[in-house]
Amino acid sequence: MSARSGFSRREFLATGVGAAAWPGLQTFPASQDLATLTVKQASELLRRKQASPVDLVQACLKRIERYDRSINAFITVTREQALATAREMEAELQRGKTRGPLHGIPIALKDNIDTAGVRTTAASGVFKDRVPAEDAEVVLRLKRAGAILLGKLNLHEFALGGTSSVTYFGPVHNPWALDRVPGGSSGGSGAAIAADLCIGTLGTDTGGSIRIPSSHCGIVGFKPTYGRVSNRGVIPMSWTLDHVGPMCKTVEDAALLLGVIAGYDELDPSSVSAPVPDYSRAIRTPTSKLRVGVARTPFFDGINTEVAKAVEAAIDVLRKLTTDVKDVKVPATGNIADVWNPEIYAYHMPWITKTPGLYQEATRNLIQRAADERSAAYAEARHQVDIVRREIKKVFAEVDVVITPTQRGLAQLIVPQPAAANAGRGGAPAAGVGAGGIVNTGAFNIYGLPTITVPCGFSGSGLPIGLQISGNHFEEPTVLALAHAYEQATDWHKRRPKL
Protein backbone atom coordinates (compact mmCIF):
# COMPACT_ATOMS: atom_id res chain seq x y z
CA MET A 1 0.00 0.00 0.00
CA SER A 2 1.41 3.38 -0.96
CA ALA A 3 0.88 6.94 0.08
CA ARG A 4 -1.30 8.99 -2.24
CA SER A 5 1.73 10.70 -3.78
CA GLY A 6 4.01 7.66 -3.92
CA PHE A 7 3.22 6.08 -7.29
CA SER A 8 5.05 6.34 -10.62
CA ARG A 9 4.41 8.88 -13.35
CA ARG A 10 5.56 6.35 -15.93
CA GLU A 11 3.55 6.48 -19.13
CA PHE A 12 1.31 3.50 -19.76
CA LEU A 13 1.52 1.66 -23.11
CA ALA A 14 4.50 3.74 -24.24
CA THR A 15 6.64 1.70 -21.88
CA GLY A 16 5.61 -1.55 -23.51
CA VAL A 17 4.78 -3.06 -20.12
CA GLY A 18 1.65 -4.80 -21.32
CA ALA A 19 3.12 -5.97 -24.60
CA ALA A 20 6.21 -7.40 -22.94
CA ALA A 21 4.22 -9.28 -20.32
CA TRP A 22 1.51 -10.47 -22.66
CA PRO A 23 2.67 -11.96 -25.99
CA GLY A 24 0.33 -11.21 -28.84
CA LEU A 25 -0.90 -7.91 -27.38
CA GLN A 26 -2.11 -5.52 -30.05
CA THR A 27 -0.83 -2.09 -29.01
CA PHE A 28 -3.73 0.30 -28.36
CA PRO A 29 -3.27 3.87 -29.67
CA ALA A 30 -1.12 5.78 -27.18
CA SER A 31 -3.31 8.85 -27.66
CA GLN A 32 -6.26 7.03 -26.08
CA ASP A 33 -6.48 7.41 -22.30
CA LEU A 34 -7.61 3.97 -21.19
CA ALA A 35 -8.91 5.32 -17.88
CA THR A 36 -11.70 7.11 -19.74
CA LEU A 37 -13.21 3.83 -20.93
CA THR A 38 -16.38 2.31 -19.56
CA VAL A 39 -16.29 -1.10 -17.88
CA LYS A 40 -17.81 -2.64 -20.99
CA GLN A 41 -15.32 -0.97 -23.34
CA ALA A 42 -12.33 -1.89 -21.19
CA SER A 43 -13.54 -5.47 -20.89
CA GLU A 44 -13.87 -5.73 -24.67
CA LEU A 45 -10.33 -4.40 -25.16
CA LEU A 46 -8.97 -7.01 -22.77
CA ARG A 47 -10.89 -9.74 -24.52
CA ARG A 48 -9.47 -8.66 -27.90
CA LYS A 49 -5.97 -8.25 -26.41
CA GLN A 50 -5.85 -4.60 -27.41
CA ALA A 51 -4.88 -3.68 -23.85
CA SER A 52 -3.82 -5.49 -20.70
CA PRO A 53 -4.91 -5.18 -17.06
CA VAL A 54 -1.54 -3.58 -16.31
CA ASP A 55 -2.20 -0.94 -18.97
CA LEU A 56 -5.58 -0.12 -17.42
CA VAL A 57 -4.15 0.18 -13.91
CA GLN A 58 -1.25 2.34 -15.08
CA ALA A 59 -3.66 4.64 -16.91
CA CYS A 60 -5.80 5.11 -13.80
CA LEU A 61 -2.78 5.66 -11.55
CA LYS A 62 -1.50 8.30 -13.94
CA ARG A 63 -4.80 10.21 -13.79
CA ILE A 64 -5.00 9.87 -10.00
CA GLU A 65 -1.56 11.43 -9.68
CA ARG A 66 -2.35 14.19 -12.15
CA TYR A 67 -5.84 15.20 -11.02
CA ASP A 68 -6.59 13.96 -7.52
CA ARG A 69 -4.62 16.64 -5.72
CA SER A 70 -7.35 19.06 -6.72
CA ILE A 71 -10.30 16.65 -6.40
CA ASN A 72 -9.29 14.72 -3.24
CA ALA A 73 -11.36 11.66 -4.13
CA PHE A 74 -8.89 9.11 -2.75
CA ILE A 75 -7.95 8.51 0.86
CA THR A 76 -5.67 5.56 0.07
CA VAL A 77 -4.12 4.46 -3.22
CA THR A 78 -3.07 0.80 -3.27
CA ARG A 79 -0.55 1.18 -6.10
CA GLU A 80 1.69 -1.82 -5.57
CA GLN A 81 -1.18 -4.13 -4.69
CA ALA A 82 -3.11 -3.03 -7.77
CA LEU A 83 -0.16 -3.61 -10.09
CA ALA A 84 0.52 -7.02 -8.55
CA THR A 85 -3.11 -8.05 -8.98
CA ALA A 86 -3.10 -6.70 -12.53
CA ARG A 87 -0.15 -8.93 -13.37
CA GLU A 88 -2.00 -11.91 -11.89
CA MET A 89 -5.14 -11.15 -13.89
CA GLU A 90 -3.02 -10.67 -17.00
CA ALA A 91 -1.35 -14.05 -16.52
CA GLU A 92 -4.75 -15.71 -16.21
CA LEU A 93 -5.93 -14.11 -19.44
CA GLN A 94 -2.73 -15.24 -21.14
CA ARG A 95 -3.56 -18.81 -20.09
CA GLY A 96 -7.03 -18.44 -21.57
CA LYS A 97 -8.82 -18.09 -18.24
CA THR A 98 -11.44 -15.37 -17.83
CA ARG A 99 -13.57 -14.65 -14.78
CA GLY A 100 -16.11 -12.53 -16.61
CA PRO A 101 -16.55 -8.89 -17.65
CA LEU A 102 -14.84 -7.45 -14.55
CA HIS A 103 -11.68 -9.52 -15.07
CA GLY A 104 -8.78 -7.04 -15.05
CA ILE A 105 -10.94 -3.93 -14.49
CA PRO A 106 -9.55 -1.29 -12.06
CA ILE A 107 -12.10 -0.20 -9.47
CA ALA A 108 -12.05 1.85 -6.28
CA LEU A 109 -14.27 1.54 -3.21
CA LYS A 110 -15.91 3.95 -0.81
CA ASP A 111 -13.86 3.94 2.37
CA ASN A 112 -16.60 2.55 4.59
CA ILE A 113 -16.43 -0.83 2.81
CA ASP A 114 -14.00 -3.18 4.56
CA THR A 115 -10.92 -4.30 2.66
CA ALA A 116 -8.65 -6.90 4.25
CA GLY A 117 -5.19 -5.47 4.93
CA VAL A 118 -6.12 -2.03 3.57
CA ARG A 119 -7.23 0.65 6.00
CA THR A 120 -10.92 1.46 6.04
CA THR A 121 -11.47 4.79 7.78
CA ALA A 122 -15.02 5.98 7.05
CA ALA A 123 -13.21 9.34 6.54
CA SER A 124 -12.95 9.75 10.31
CA GLY A 125 -10.18 10.34 12.80
CA VAL A 126 -11.90 7.70 14.92
CA PHE A 127 -10.95 5.01 12.39
CA LYS A 128 -7.95 6.67 10.72
CA ASP A 129 -5.69 3.70 11.52
CA ARG A 130 -8.30 0.93 11.25
CA VAL A 131 -7.20 -2.02 9.08
CA PRO A 132 -9.83 -4.77 8.71
CA ALA A 133 -8.80 -8.42 8.79
CA GLU A 134 -11.56 -9.46 6.37
CA ASP A 135 -13.10 -8.19 3.17
CA ALA A 136 -16.72 -7.10 3.00
CA GLU A 137 -18.89 -9.61 1.13
CA VAL A 138 -19.15 -7.29 -1.90
CA VAL A 139 -15.36 -7.00 -2.02
CA LEU A 140 -14.99 -10.79 -1.97
CA ARG A 141 -17.39 -11.02 -4.91
CA LEU A 142 -15.56 -8.33 -6.86
CA LYS A 143 -12.22 -10.01 -6.29
CA ARG A 144 -13.58 -13.39 -7.37
CA ALA A 145 -14.79 -11.66 -10.55
CA GLY A 146 -11.26 -10.43 -11.26
CA ALA A 147 -11.68 -6.74 -10.40
CA ILE A 148 -8.55 -4.87 -9.32
CA LEU A 149 -8.63 -2.55 -6.28
CA LEU A 150 -6.97 0.82 -6.92
CA GLY A 151 -7.75 2.22 -3.47
CA LYS A 152 -10.30 3.69 -1.09
CA LEU A 153 -12.42 6.77 -1.70
CA ASN A 154 -13.22 9.78 0.45
CA LEU A 155 -16.71 10.35 1.85
CA HIS A 156 -18.73 12.41 4.27
CA GLU A 157 -17.55 11.23 7.70
CA PHE A 158 -19.23 7.92 8.60
CA ALA A 159 -21.62 8.58 5.68
CA LEU A 160 -23.49 11.04 7.92
CA GLY A 161 -24.02 13.85 5.44
CA GLY A 162 -24.67 14.90 1.88
CA THR A 163 -21.72 17.14 0.96
CA SER A 164 -18.51 15.10 1.44
CA SER A 165 -17.04 18.27 2.94
CA VAL A 166 -17.07 17.00 6.53
CA THR A 167 -14.20 14.51 6.48
CA TYR A 168 -10.96 13.97 8.40
CA PHE A 169 -9.12 13.89 5.07
CA GLY A 170 -10.40 17.19 3.65
CA PRO A 171 -13.37 17.95 1.40
CA VAL A 172 -14.00 16.28 -1.93
CA HIS A 173 -14.31 18.64 -4.90
CA ASN A 174 -16.74 18.26 -7.78
CA PRO A 175 -14.80 17.69 -11.05
CA TRP A 176 -17.37 19.82 -12.92
CA ALA A 177 -16.68 22.82 -10.66
CA LEU A 178 -13.95 22.48 -8.05
CA ASP A 179 -15.56 25.03 -5.75
CA ARG A 180 -18.72 22.88 -5.56
CA VAL A 181 -19.55 19.82 -3.50
CA PRO A 182 -19.83 16.49 -5.32
CA GLY A 183 -22.71 15.49 -3.06
CA GLY A 184 -22.53 12.78 -0.47
CA SER A 185 -21.98 10.72 1.29
CA SER A 186 -20.29 8.78 -1.55
CA GLY A 187 -18.69 11.96 -2.86
CA GLY A 188 -15.30 10.43 -3.53
CA SER A 189 -16.94 7.68 -5.56
CA GLY A 190 -18.93 10.15 -7.64
CA ALA A 191 -15.95 12.43 -8.23
CA ALA A 192 -13.61 9.54 -9.09
CA ILE A 193 -15.91 8.22 -11.81
CA ALA A 194 -16.64 11.68 -13.23
CA ALA A 195 -12.90 12.44 -13.39
CA ASP A 196 -12.05 8.98 -14.85
CA LEU A 197 -9.79 8.12 -11.92
CA CYS A 198 -11.15 4.57 -11.94
CA ILE A 199 -13.36 2.59 -14.27
CA GLY A 200 -16.01 1.51 -11.77
CA THR A 201 -16.84 1.88 -8.11
CA LEU A 202 -19.30 1.12 -5.33
CA GLY A 203 -21.07 3.48 -2.99
CA THR A 204 -23.46 3.08 -0.07
CA ASP A 205 -26.88 4.69 0.20
CA THR A 206 -28.98 5.28 3.33
CA GLY A 207 -30.81 8.45 2.38
CA GLY A 208 -29.41 9.11 -1.09
CA SER A 209 -25.66 8.66 -0.71
CA ILE A 210 -25.23 6.90 -4.06
CA ARG A 211 -27.75 8.93 -6.03
CA ILE A 212 -27.00 12.43 -4.74
CA PRO A 213 -23.31 12.42 -5.75
CA SER A 214 -24.09 10.56 -8.96
CA SER A 215 -26.59 13.28 -9.88
CA HIS A 216 -24.22 16.12 -8.97
CA CYS A 217 -21.28 14.48 -10.76
CA GLY A 218 -23.13 13.53 -13.94
CA ILE A 219 -22.80 9.76 -13.65
CA VAL A 220 -25.03 6.70 -13.13
CA GLY A 221 -25.74 5.54 -9.58
CA PHE A 222 -27.95 2.58 -8.68
CA LYS A 223 -29.40 1.73 -5.28
CA PRO A 224 -30.83 -1.81 -5.60
CA THR A 225 -33.72 -3.29 -3.62
CA TYR A 226 -33.13 -3.46 0.13
CA GLY A 227 -31.59 -6.89 0.76
CA ARG A 228 -30.54 -7.43 -2.86
CA VAL A 229 -26.83 -6.78 -2.07
CA SER A 230 -25.08 -7.80 1.14
CA ASN A 231 -24.21 -5.10 3.69
CA ARG A 232 -21.90 -7.40 5.65
CA GLY A 233 -18.52 -5.79 6.20
CA VAL A 234 -19.79 -2.28 5.48
CA ILE A 235 -19.58 0.24 8.32
CA PRO A 236 -23.27 0.88 9.01
CA MET A 237 -25.16 4.11 9.18
CA SER A 238 -28.64 2.60 9.65
CA TRP A 239 -29.28 -1.13 9.53
CA THR A 240 -32.84 -0.55 8.39
CA LEU A 241 -31.98 1.72 5.45
CA ASP A 242 -28.44 0.90 4.26
CA HIS A 243 -27.89 -0.24 0.67
CA VAL A 244 -24.73 -0.95 -1.38
CA GLY A 245 -24.70 -0.33 -5.12
CA PRO A 246 -22.67 0.58 -8.22
CA MET A 247 -21.62 4.03 -9.39
CA CYS A 248 -20.50 4.01 -13.01
CA LYS A 249 -20.22 5.85 -16.31
CA THR A 250 -23.13 4.05 -17.98
CA VAL A 251 -26.22 2.01 -17.15
CA GLU A 252 -24.62 -1.02 -18.79
CA ASP A 253 -21.65 -0.73 -16.43
CA ALA A 254 -24.02 -0.54 -13.46
CA ALA A 255 -25.71 -3.74 -14.68
CA LEU A 256 -22.34 -5.49 -14.96
CA LEU A 257 -21.26 -4.54 -11.43
CA LEU A 258 -24.65 -5.31 -9.94
CA GLY A 259 -24.59 -8.74 -11.52
CA VAL A 260 -21.40 -9.50 -9.59
CA ILE A 261 -22.31 -8.12 -6.16
CA ALA A 262 -26.01 -9.11 -6.03
CA GLY A 263 -27.13 -12.29 -4.32
CA TYR A 264 -27.97 -13.86 -1.00
CA ASP A 265 -25.53 -13.75 1.92
CA GLU A 266 -26.62 -16.06 4.71
CA LEU A 267 -24.38 -14.21 7.18
CA ASP A 268 -26.12 -10.87 6.58
CA PRO A 269 -29.48 -10.63 8.39
CA SER A 270 -30.72 -7.99 5.90
CA SER A 271 -29.96 -10.15 2.87
CA VAL A 272 -32.86 -11.63 0.90
CA SER A 273 -32.70 -14.98 -0.87
CA ALA A 274 -34.00 -14.27 -4.37
CA PRO A 275 -32.82 -15.33 -7.84
CA VAL A 276 -30.33 -12.97 -9.50
CA PRO A 277 -31.35 -12.18 -13.11
CA ASP A 278 -28.92 -11.50 -15.94
CA TYR A 279 -28.92 -7.72 -15.60
CA SER A 280 -26.75 -7.21 -18.66
CA ARG A 281 -29.32 -8.95 -20.80
CA ALA A 282 -32.16 -7.16 -19.03
CA ILE A 283 -31.01 -3.71 -20.14
CA ARG A 284 -31.94 -4.59 -23.72
CA THR A 285 -35.51 -5.54 -22.86
CA PRO A 286 -37.98 -3.48 -24.95
CA THR A 287 -39.59 -0.64 -23.02
CA SER A 288 -42.48 0.15 -25.36
CA LYS A 289 -45.07 -1.46 -23.06
CA LEU A 290 -43.85 0.09 -19.82
CA ARG A 291 -46.19 2.36 -17.86
CA VAL A 292 -44.49 5.39 -16.32
CA GLY A 293 -45.69 7.19 -13.22
CA VAL A 294 -44.45 10.69 -12.38
CA ALA A 295 -44.53 11.40 -8.64
CA ARG A 296 -44.80 15.18 -8.41
CA THR A 297 -45.61 15.65 -4.71
CA PRO A 298 -43.40 16.36 -2.83
CA PHE A 299 -40.59 15.67 -5.28
CA PHE A 300 -41.11 18.69 -7.54
CA ASP A 301 -41.92 21.12 -4.70
CA GLY A 302 -39.54 24.10 -4.66
CA ILE A 303 -37.55 22.68 -7.56
CA ASN A 304 -34.82 24.72 -9.25
CA THR A 305 -36.12 26.01 -12.60
CA GLU A 306 -33.20 24.58 -14.58
CA VAL A 307 -33.63 21.20 -12.93
CA ALA A 308 -37.36 21.28 -13.66
CA LYS A 309 -36.75 22.08 -17.33
CA ALA A 310 -34.26 19.23 -17.72
CA VAL A 311 -36.50 16.70 -15.97
CA GLU A 312 -39.59 17.67 -17.96
CA ALA A 313 -37.55 17.28 -21.16
CA ALA A 314 -36.48 13.83 -19.96
CA ILE A 315 -40.10 12.89 -19.31
CA ASP A 316 -40.92 13.91 -22.89
CA VAL A 317 -38.24 11.46 -24.08
CA LEU A 318 -39.77 8.73 -21.91
CA ARG A 319 -43.17 9.32 -23.55
CA LYS A 320 -41.61 8.17 -26.84
CA LEU A 321 -40.00 5.11 -25.25
CA THR A 322 -43.00 3.78 -23.30
CA THR A 323 -46.74 3.21 -23.65
CA ASP A 324 -48.05 5.66 -21.06
CA VAL A 325 -46.90 8.46 -18.77
CA LYS A 326 -49.16 9.77 -16.01
CA ASP A 327 -48.93 11.40 -12.60
CA VAL A 328 -49.11 9.15 -9.54
CA LYS A 329 -49.18 9.59 -5.78
CA VAL A 330 -46.88 7.65 -3.49
CA PRO A 331 -47.39 7.02 0.25
CA ALA A 332 -45.91 9.47 2.72
CA THR A 333 -42.86 8.14 4.51
CA GLY A 334 -42.56 10.29 7.62
CA ASN A 335 -39.29 11.63 9.01
CA ILE A 336 -36.43 9.33 8.00
CA ALA A 337 -34.35 10.63 10.92
CA ASP A 338 -36.76 9.01 13.38
CA VAL A 339 -35.49 5.69 12.03
CA TRP A 340 -31.82 6.34 11.52
CA ASN A 341 -30.94 8.56 14.51
CA PRO A 342 -31.33 5.80 17.15
CA GLU A 343 -29.50 3.33 14.92
CA ILE A 344 -26.67 5.82 14.33
CA TYR A 345 -26.25 6.31 18.08
CA ALA A 346 -26.43 2.58 18.79
CA TYR A 347 -23.49 1.91 16.47
CA HIS A 348 -21.36 4.90 17.56
CA MET A 349 -21.97 4.67 21.31
CA PRO A 350 -18.60 2.98 22.11
CA TRP A 351 -16.61 5.78 20.45
CA ILE A 352 -18.80 8.85 20.95
CA THR A 353 -18.80 8.26 24.71
CA LYS A 354 -15.04 7.59 25.02
CA THR A 355 -13.34 9.62 22.26
CA PRO A 356 -15.81 12.27 21.05
CA GLY A 357 -12.98 14.63 20.13
CA LEU A 358 -11.89 12.34 17.30
CA TYR A 359 -15.06 13.13 15.32
CA GLN A 360 -15.51 16.19 13.13
CA GLU A 361 -17.60 18.73 15.01
CA ALA A 362 -20.73 18.45 12.86
CA THR A 363 -20.66 14.65 13.04
CA ARG A 364 -20.11 14.67 16.79
CA ASN A 365 -23.03 17.04 17.34
CA LEU A 366 -25.33 14.89 15.20
CA ILE A 367 -24.50 11.67 17.02
CA GLN A 368 -24.74 13.21 20.49
CA ARG A 369 -28.17 14.65 19.70
CA ALA A 370 -29.27 11.27 18.39
CA ALA A 371 -28.91 9.93 21.93
CA ASP A 372 -31.99 11.94 22.91
CA GLU A 373 -34.35 10.03 20.62
CA ARG A 374 -37.17 8.28 22.48
CA SER A 375 -37.46 4.51 22.17
CA ALA A 376 -41.21 4.68 21.62
CA ALA A 377 -40.80 7.07 18.69
CA TYR A 378 -38.18 4.81 17.16
CA ALA A 379 -40.37 1.74 17.55
CA GLU A 380 -43.23 3.49 15.80
CA ALA A 381 -40.99 4.83 13.01
CA ARG A 382 -39.45 1.41 12.44
CA HIS A 383 -42.91 -0.15 12.31
CA GLN A 384 -43.95 2.44 9.73
CA VAL A 385 -41.07 1.38 7.48
CA ASP A 386 -42.59 -2.09 7.22
CA ILE A 387 -46.02 -0.63 6.51
CA VAL A 388 -44.78 1.77 3.82
CA ARG A 389 -42.72 -0.95 2.12
CA ARG A 390 -45.94 -2.88 1.71
CA GLU A 391 -48.08 0.13 0.74
CA ILE A 392 -45.73 1.23 -2.05
CA LYS A 393 -46.45 -2.03 -3.90
CA LYS A 394 -49.96 -0.74 -4.64
CA VAL A 395 -48.51 2.03 -6.81
CA PHE A 396 -46.99 -0.58 -9.08
CA ALA A 397 -50.36 -2.10 -9.80
CA GLU A 398 -50.96 0.86 -12.13
CA VAL A 399 -47.42 1.74 -13.30
CA ASP A 400 -44.15 -0.12 -13.82
CA VAL A 401 -41.73 2.66 -12.84
CA VAL A 402 -41.87 5.92 -10.89
CA ILE A 403 -40.02 9.03 -12.07
CA THR A 404 -38.76 11.98 -10.02
CA PRO A 405 -35.89 14.45 -10.17
CA THR A 406 -32.92 12.97 -8.30
CA GLN A 407 -32.25 16.33 -6.66
CA ARG A 408 -34.38 19.45 -6.67
CA GLY A 409 -31.34 21.72 -6.68
CA LEU A 410 -27.81 21.96 -8.06
CA ALA A 411 -24.50 21.17 -6.40
CA GLN A 412 -23.77 23.83 -3.79
CA LEU A 413 -20.57 25.71 -3.01
CA ILE A 414 -18.20 24.01 -0.58
CA VAL A 415 -18.52 25.56 2.86
CA PRO A 416 -15.58 25.31 5.28
CA GLN A 417 -16.04 23.04 8.29
CA PRO A 418 -17.77 22.99 10.68
CA ALA A 419 -20.50 25.03 8.99
CA ALA A 420 -20.72 22.67 6.00
CA ALA A 421 -22.86 20.21 7.89
CA ASN A 422 -25.22 22.32 9.96
CA ALA A 423 -27.06 19.81 12.07
CA GLY A 424 -30.71 20.57 12.68
CA ARG A 425 -33.34 18.14 13.85
CA GLY A 426 -33.01 15.00 11.82
CA GLY A 427 -29.27 15.42 11.71
CA ALA A 428 -26.64 16.63 9.31
CA PRO A 429 -27.30 13.99 6.65
CA ALA A 430 -30.10 16.21 5.33
CA ALA A 431 -28.15 19.43 5.67
CA GLY A 432 -25.71 20.89 3.20
CA VAL A 433 -26.94 18.70 0.36
CA GLY A 434 -28.42 21.56 -1.62
CA ALA A 435 -31.94 22.63 -2.44
CA GLY A 436 -34.27 19.73 -1.76
CA GLY A 437 -31.95 17.86 0.60
CA ILE A 438 -32.67 14.16 0.82
CA VAL A 439 -36.44 14.37 0.28
CA ASN A 440 -36.22 13.06 -3.29
CA THR A 441 -33.83 10.24 -2.47
CA GLY A 442 -34.53 9.28 1.14
CA ALA A 443 -38.11 8.20 0.49
CA PHE A 444 -36.86 5.38 -1.71
CA ASN A 445 -34.62 4.07 1.08
CA ILE A 446 -37.69 3.82 3.28
CA TYR A 447 -39.62 2.14 0.45
CA GLY A 448 -36.62 -0.14 -0.14
CA LEU A 449 -37.12 0.14 -3.92
CA PRO A 450 -34.51 -0.29 -6.66
CA THR A 451 -33.72 3.26 -7.78
CA ILE A 452 -31.28 4.61 -10.35
CA THR A 453 -30.15 8.09 -11.31
CA VAL A 454 -29.01 8.89 -14.83
CA PRO A 455 -27.72 12.19 -16.27
CA CYS A 456 -30.52 14.18 -17.91
CA GLY A 457 -29.05 17.61 -18.49
CA PHE A 458 -26.88 20.47 -17.28
CA SER A 459 -27.51 23.89 -15.81
CA GLY A 460 -26.48 27.04 -17.64
CA SER A 461 -23.33 27.06 -15.49
CA GLY A 462 -22.47 23.51 -16.50
CA LEU A 463 -23.59 21.60 -13.41
CA PRO A 464 -25.07 18.10 -13.96
CA ILE A 465 -28.73 17.23 -13.37
CA GLY A 466 -30.07 13.74 -12.67
CA LEU A 467 -33.28 11.83 -13.43
CA GLN A 468 -34.41 9.24 -10.87
CA ILE A 469 -36.16 6.03 -11.96
CA SER A 470 -37.59 3.53 -9.44
CA GLY A 471 -39.29 0.16 -9.80
CA ASN A 472 -41.08 -2.35 -7.61
CA HIS A 473 -39.10 -4.51 -5.20
CA PHE A 474 -36.60 -6.73 -7.06
CA GLU A 475 -37.57 -5.19 -10.39
CA GLU A 476 -34.01 -4.08 -11.08
CA PRO A 477 -34.29 -5.41 -14.67
CA THR A 478 -37.19 -3.05 -15.42
CA VAL A 479 -35.40 -0.06 -13.94
CA LEU A 480 -32.20 -0.85 -15.82
CA ALA A 481 -34.05 -1.38 -19.09
CA LEU A 482 -35.77 2.01 -19.02
CA ALA A 483 -32.65 3.80 -17.75
CA HIS A 484 -30.61 2.24 -20.56
CA ALA A 485 -33.23 3.13 -23.18
CA TYR A 486 -33.28 6.74 -21.99
CA GLU A 487 -29.48 6.86 -21.91
CA GLN A 488 -29.27 5.58 -25.49
CA ALA A 489 -31.85 8.13 -26.64
CA THR A 490 -29.78 11.02 -25.24
CA ASP A 491 -26.11 11.93 -25.00
CA TRP A 492 -25.85 13.47 -21.53
CA HIS A 493 -23.80 10.52 -20.23
CA LYS A 494 -21.12 11.14 -22.87
CA ARG A 495 -20.16 14.54 -21.51
CA ARG A 496 -17.04 14.69 -19.32
CA PRO A 497 -15.70 17.53 -17.17
CA LYS A 498 -12.69 19.49 -18.45
CA LEU A 499 -10.03 18.99 -15.81
Residue 110 falls in the annotated catalytic set = yes
Confidence of residue 372 (pLDDT cuts 50, 70, 90): confident
CATH code for the domain of 483:
3.90.1300.10
**Residue 5 belongs to some domain of the structure:** no
Return the pLDDT at 437.
82
**Residue 6 belongs to some domain of the structure:** no
Inter-residue contact 463 to 409 (CB < 8 Å):
no
**Residue 2 belongs to some domain of the structure:** no
**Residue 122 belongs to some domain of the structure:** yes
Give the pTM.
Answer: 0.92
Instruction: Report the number of distinct structural domains present in the chain.
Output: 1
Confidence of residue 32 (pLDDT cuts 50, 70, 90): confident
Return the pLDDT at 375.
87
Catalytic residue of the set 40, 62, 110, 143: 110
pLDDT in tens, 33-80: 999 999 999 999 999 999 999 999 999 999 999 999 999 999 999 999
- Please say if the pLDDT value at position 94 is more than 70: yes
**Residue 7 belongs to some domain of the structure:** no
**Residue 4 belongs to some domain of the structure:** no
**Residue 130 belongs to some domain of the structure:** yes
**Residue 357 belongs to some domain of the structure:** yes
Catalytic residue of the set 43, 124, 164, 209: 209
Of 223, 192, 113, 201, the residue nearest 159 (C-alpha): 113
- Please say if the pLDDT value at position 459 is more than 70: yes
- The residue range of the domain holding 332 is 17-494
Return the pLDDT at 31.
58
- Please say if the pLDDT value at position 432 is more than 50: no
Return the pLDDT at 28.
52
Confidence of residue 10 (pLDDT cuts 50, 70, 90): very low
State the average pLDDT over residues 300-314.
97
pLDDT in tens, 346-357: 999 999 999 999
Residue 186 falls in the annotated catalytic set = no
pLDDT in tens, 241-300: 999 999 999 999 999 999 999 999 999 999 999 999 999 999 999 999 999 999 999 999
- Please say if the pLDDT value at position 9 is more than 70: no
Catalytic residue of the set 185, 215, 271, 459: 185
- Please say if the pLDDT value at position 440 is more than 70: yes
Residue 185 falls in the annotated catalytic set = yes
Return the pLDDT at 30.
54
